[in-house]
Structure 1
Amino acid sequence: MDALQPNATPRWEWRIFGADLAALEAKLGSPTSLPRRSDEIYLLNALTPHSAKIRDEALEVKRLLRVDDGLELWEPAFRAPFPVTAERLAAAAAALALPLSRLDRAAYDEARFLAEIVAPCPALRGVAVRKSRLRFSFRGCAAEFVRLQIGPAPMESVALESEDERRLAEALDALDADPRLNVNFPKGVERAAALAI
């Protein structure tokens, strides 16, 4: 995905955060992957519900399409590795439905993007997140258990996702998990970052 992806398949998602989610992790069964560690920067957006982050030296955008009884339908909309051209940054901003200031450079590396685009924009805030993630398969849904660090406080998160909303709802029912307790990753990061101040 190296540009806007209007045909990327949307997925229904559910996530919860907590200090200790080991009991919920145990219900997911055996992991299907080894732990994957990453350092990411979430770009919290005060104007729109969409999500952006920097991961693996690339800018990624997901759009929130719909909310149904707590479950959220997200669509991958953009991915481009740094350095990102001004034209592609404009496309990322369009995917976020976020106006950008004038782009003075032909391309931006990650450091210049954060310093010259994100930092001056009152609607954006970059928050560093360190993750260690395990993947699972549960009742036909992709699932993950994440240990994360946002500021000084460690946290945990469990998420499930599926292209099929009913399948996701059934998996949550099997976990005795309330769909209405869903907290998407940007909101979880925002809350944790506020506590870290």
Structure 2
Amino acid sequence: MSDKMAIGEVSKPRFEFRTFGQDFSAPAARMARLSVPVPEKVWERHSKEIYILSRTNDVNNTKIRDGKMDIKTYVQTIDGLEQWNPLMKGEFPISAAQLETEVFPAFKVDMPTLTQETYTLDEFLCIINSHPDLQAVNVVKHRFGYMVNNTICEYGEVLFNGAKICTINSESTEIEDIKKTLTEVGLNQVENINYLQAIKRVIGMINQPLAN
């Protein structure tokens, strides 16, 4: 028996389809039409985040939102859908010990020399910006939430360091529900691109185009 999905609530680890490009107006319109009613708090959301990109890491997704660090790690891909699990959450000021044992190992880069016991967000970003294999990217999200076939969906307009693109996704604990949704909204032949990959393509860290 499948779990009942609820937007904004913790569930079993979910599988996700997401993609990025210039125009998803048609599938976004179908997603809105097919959606059941969703809580008003997810009708439309705005957020500003900082993603930390590493040239040597594609399996740990590190971002900072509301002054807190959030790291998710890639688990597996089944039928083209990716599963990610929480790895750590941290608050600033953050200890040097946590940077050494959890944060920089997630980046898979050489450990910089740390001379303080704790670091503020600005001090941490200075370390990131001075590291040759790391780059902080400012991400602004304007998202619209839906629920189709018991999958949590969204269409979003996002800025990566000011570059405007679109994203659309469907996620659930149940793979078949996502597949059904992708077919119904017209995304079943579109490449699955996660945030790490999309940002790297936009900033030139990966030489590949987006989905359209």
- Which TM-score bucket, shorter chain as reference? 0.7 to 0.9
Q: Specify the code of the residue in structure 2 equivalent to 1:73.
A: Q
- The CA deviation at 1:96 is 4.8
Structure 1 residues 27 and 183: alpha-carbon distance in aligned structure 2, compared to 1, 3 A threshold: same
Q: Give aligned pairs, total.
A: 187
Q: Specify the SS of the correspondent of 1:190.
A: helix
- The equivalent residue for 2:79 is 69
- The equivalent residue for 1:143 is 153
- The equivalent residue for 1:110 is 121
Question: Is residue 94 of structure 2 the alignment partner of residue 91 of structure 1?
Answer: no
Question: Is residue 36 of structure 2 the alignment partner of residue 27 of structure 1?
Answer: no
- The CA deviation at 1:54 is 0.9
Structure 1 residues 52 and 166: alpha-carbon distance in aligned structure 2, compared to 1, 3 A threshold: same
Structure 1, unpaired ranges of 5+: 1-7
Question: Is residue 14 of structure 2 the alignment partner of residue 11 of structure 1?
Answer: yes
- Alignment equivalent of 2:166, drawn from 156, 160, 177: 156
Identity %: 27
Counterparts of 2:193 and 2:183 in 1: how far apart (Å)?
Answer: 17
Structure 1 residues 64 and 87: alpha-carbon distance in aligned structure 2, compared to 1, 3 A threshold: same
TM-score for both structures, normalised by structure 1: 0.84
Counterparts of 1:62 and 1:52 in 2: how far apart (Å)?
Answer: 7
Counterparts of 1:104 and 1:27 in 2: how far apart (Å)?
Answer: 54
RMSD across aligned C-alpha pairs, in angstroms? 2.2
**Greater radius of gyration (CA):** 2
TM-score for both structures, normalised by structure 2: 0.79
Counterparts of 2:186 and 2:24 in 1: how far apart (Å)?
Answer: 13
Cα contact 1:135–1:145 (8 A) shared by 2: yes
Structure 1 residues 153 and 91: alpha-carbon distance in aligned structure 2, compared to 1, 3 A threshold: closer
Please show how residues 117-128 of structure 1 align to structure 2 within 5 Å: 118-128=128-138
Structure 2, unpaired ranges of 5+: 1-10, 206-212
Q: Specify the SS of the correspondent of 2:204.
A: helix
Point out the more displaced range, 162-171 or 59-68.
Answer: 162-171
